[in-house]
Amino acid sequence: HDLRTPLMRLALRLEKAPDEIREASEEDIQEMSQRIGAAMAFVRDMTRHVRRQRLDLRSLAESITDDYADRGEQVVLAPGPSLAIDGDAPALKALLVNLVDNAVKYAGHAEVQLYRDRDTVVIEVGDRGPGLSAADASHAFEPFFRAERSRNRDTGGTGLGLASVRAVAHAHGGAASLENRPEGGLIVRVILPA
């Protein structure tokens, strides 16, 4: 609230400004407000208590991938068995949405795969997009880092998606990593205790 008050004052002062200045400033104010909201949500999510329950990770992933497919996005979930884990359903849903969102945003599609590997469950979200440079890959999970540095609102984002993914994975006793695919594109891998 305290951060948004100055933005509101700016917006009110700009009402009497020439159209060109007002419209450009309104877009900046809206972007700043969205970034503040994203930062606050990130902090709130990272400090909230994780409530674990037994859940089927595949069912959760199916509901997310089906939602994207219903909107006409090219998102597929590889078939496989149920994967029961102890986890925080809202946090894991946000993790999956962040991963699928990034793949769709930067590559136009997402390939989701879930499988058990000994005593862990693995979530992989891949694409065949441009991938990341080695320098960008080494910083990709840092808060506010954006490999796509344009001010384009369609691809810009706030740089909190992958930071949130890693934080959720760590809160569940797991880990998150990414790598460029040899055939092109990127794969993000989250490993969680089974």
> What pLDDT is recorded for position 65?
97
**Do residues 39 and 66 both lie within one domain?**
no
**Do residues 135 and 97 both lie within one domain?**
yes
**Do residues 105 and 132 both lie within one domain?**
yes
For 58, the domain range is 52-193
* Segment 54-107, tens digit of pLDDT: 999 999 999 999 999 999 999 999 999 999 999 999 999 999 999 999 999 999
Q: Which of 193, 191, 32 is nearest to 122 (CA)?
A: 191
> What pLDDT is recorded for position 149?
45
> What pLDDT is recorded for position 61?
97
Q: Which of 32, 37, 15, 191 is nearest to 116 (CA)?
A: 191
The answer for residues whose C-beta is within 8 angstroms of residue 142's C-beta and 6 or more apart is: 159, 163
Q: How many domains does the chain have?
A: 2
Q: What is the pTM of this model?
A: 0.74
**Do residues 56 and 87 both lie within one domain?**
yes
> What pLDDT is recorded for position 62?
97
**Do residues 114 and 183 both lie within one domain?**
yes
Question: CATH number, domain at 156?
Answer: 3.30.565.10
* Segment 118-168, tens digit of pLDDT: 999 999 999 999 999 888 888 888 877 777 544 444 545 667 788 889 989
**Do residues 112 and 179 both lie within one domain?**
yes
Helix (H) or strand (E) holding 74: strand 74-77
**Do residues 117 and 169 both lie within one domain?**
yes
pLDDT at 8 over 90: no
> What pLDDT is recorded for position 188?
97
